[in-house]
Amino acid sequence: AQSVAQPEDQVNVAEGNPLTVKCTYSVSGNPYLFWYVQYPNRGLQFLLKYITGDNLVKGSYGFEAEFNKSQTSFHLKKPSALVSDSALYFCAVRDRDAGNMLTFGGGTRLMVKP
């Protein structure tokens, strides 16, 4: 079985400050890891993914995430937050040895204040 945990329901950051949204995962095999963002009443937009290779992954809108195998984490980061980054963020995992199913974390609401 695979699972994802996002321990924070909400993260509050001041505009211009760095942000981190935490994610840990559990899979039997090797993971494919993803971050998605969701704006109100919209579907999910892909931000970035880790498949293999460099542990630091850069994605859309200045976001990046670091794959840490020993800590089974894939935290989302951005050096300088924007008010427009305020949204709901989902971490997701797929076990590359166990089919196509994507499992989502519970989501973290990011609030960036001016």
Tokens of 8: 């924070």
Nearer to other proteins, 74 or 105 (CB): 105
Tokens of 27: 């899979």
Local structure of 61: helix, strand or coil: helix
Q: Least distance from C-beta 8 to other proteins, angstroms?
A: 14
Nearer to other proteins, 16 or 97 (CB): 97
Closest alpha carbon to 92 in 20, 37, 28: 37
Q: Convert 58-70 to b/e letters by CB count within 10 Å (16 or more is b).
A: ebeeebbbbbeee
Q: Least distance from C-beta 104 to other proteins, angstroms?
A: 5
Nearer to other proteins, 82 or 102 (CB): 102
Nearer to other proteins, 34 or 74 (CB): 34
Q: Least distance from C-beta 100 to other proteins, angstroms?
A: 6
Whether 88 and 107 have beta carbons less than 8 Å apart is answered as yes
Neighbouring CB atoms inside 10 A of 8's CB total: 16
Q: List interacting residues with other proteins (CB under 8 A).
A: 32, 34, 36, 41-46, 49, 51, 90, 100-102, 104-107
